[in-house]
């Protein structure tokens, strides 16, 4: 004879507080990209040999064609703002003090938009379509944040 157990429909809620520190490898592709930011103040992209799209930040394989990419291209860093948001509240994980703006910058010569901070402009005067250029930190460490922000430019 089988005994049946009644299962409650009430959810179980458990509070978990966890802190973890770990290192991850950027891999060969992103290491080259990040070293270029740090050492040369240059933004690099990778070109797909099949569809010719240029990806920034670079990816090892084209997400459209699934082929390996190895042709690097130097980009000027200049581009056009295609989308943005202004952050006006504070959270402990945010890398900047609010208020600040994030944007998607369509770099000249790239097929994909690059998300990054916007600066050097009144937050109420940011406009889709404005031209931007990167501002690099003086002390660079090999991080995407070596680009401090993108400011209005030509």
pLDDT for the residue 11: 77
pLDDT for the residue 2: 59
- pTM value is 0.82
pLDDT for the residue 41: 97
- Rounded Cα distance between 7 and 39, Å, is 60
Domain ranges of the chain: 27-152
Query: pLDDT tens, position by position, for the chain (154 residues)?
Result: 556 666 667 777 778 777 777 777 888 899 999 999 999 999 999 999 999 999 999 999 999 999 999 999 999 999 999 999 999 999 888 888 999 999 999 999 999 999 999 999 999 999 999 999 999 999 999 999 999 999 999 8
- Rounded Cα distance between 8 and 13, Å, is 13
Output DSSP code: residue 4: P
Show Cβ contacts of residue 137 under 8 Å, excluding neighbours closer than 6 positions. Answer: 145, 146, 147, 148
Identify the CA nearest to 105 among candidates 128, 124, 86: 128
């Amino acid at each position: 004879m089988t005994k049946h157990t009644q299962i409650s429909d009430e959810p179980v809620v458990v509070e978990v507080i966890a802190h973890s520190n770990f290192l991850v490898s950027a891999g060969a592709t992103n290491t080259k990209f990040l070293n270029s930011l740090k050492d040369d103040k240059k933004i690099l992209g990778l070109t797909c040999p099949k569809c010719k799209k240029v990806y920034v930040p670079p990816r090892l394989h084209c997400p459209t064609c699934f082929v390996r990419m190895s042709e690097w291209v130097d980009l000027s860093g200049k581009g056009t703002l295609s989308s943005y948001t202004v952050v006006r509240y504070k959270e402990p994980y945010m890398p900047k003090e609010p208020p600040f703006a994030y944007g998607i910058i369509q770099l000249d010569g790239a097929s994909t938009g690059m998300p990054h901070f916007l600066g050097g402009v009144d937050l109420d005067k940011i406009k889709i379509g404005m031209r931007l250029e990167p501002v690099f930190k003086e002390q660079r460490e090999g991080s995407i944040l070596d680009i401090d922000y993108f400011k209005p430019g030509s």
